[in-house]
Homo-oligomer: A and B are copies of this chain.
Amino acid sequence: MNNELSFIFSRRSVRTYQPKEVGPELVQNLLESAMAAPSAVAKDPWEFLVIRERSTLARIASGLPNGGLLADAAVGIVVCGDLTRAHDHQLSYLLQDCSAAIENLLLAAQALGLGGCWLGVHPREDRVAHIRQLLAVPEQVIPVAVIAVGWPAESPAPRTRYRAEAVHYETW
């Protein structure tokens, strides 16, 4: 793995956190990073809910399998997409744009010494409904994922999951 790319290989899902606050300027950095992602026709349909309230994080967690780690995360960032703003109102573009933004956010967290974990919401209807109801997310806005962020209490080793069989040259 090329050392110049360690910012990518070092990003691992971090699921345990130190009991320590993540300041608002760091969260601002994460959001600026997320919104630097590419977006189809630059529609930027993404929306972000920043949750620090412990009781809200616990309630979000209760609707997500493997969401328990939110109980120890300093912040939860709910990433949504507004279908009316997505290019051609297409769910596919909304998901692509939000996912690129999430990856930027996770890489930024890693680069700032934080740890993060991507908790899936879409396409599970029960999870979408749970988040929507809990956080008063409007009908046209689709919760895609919740990103847990905190100071890491574990340091998974850098890696790639490169598979040569996934690479095809010139044609399938």
Contact = CB atoms under 8 A, between A and B. Distances in A.
B122 A92 contact: yes
Contact of A160 (B33, B48, B90): B33
Interface residues of A, number: 71
Contacts of A160: 32-33, 35-36
A31 B135 CA distance: 38
B5 A29 contact: yes
Interface in A97-145: 97-100, 102-104, 106-108, 111-112, 118, 120, 122-123, 135-138, 141, 144-145
Interface in A4-44: 4-5, 7-9, 11, 13, 29, 31-33, 35-40, 42, 44
A50 interface: yes
A166 B80 CA distance: 10
B104 A102 contact: no
A111 B1 CA distance: 14
A88 B103 CA distance: 21
B48 A168 contact: yes
A72 B163 CA distance: 28
A95 interface: yes
B99 A103 contact: yes
Interface of A: 1-2, 4-5, 7-9, 11, 13, 29, 31-33, 35-40, 42, 44, 46-53, 56, 90-93, 95-100, 102-104, 106-108, 111-112, 118, 120, 122-123, 135-138, 141, 144-145, 159-163, 166-172
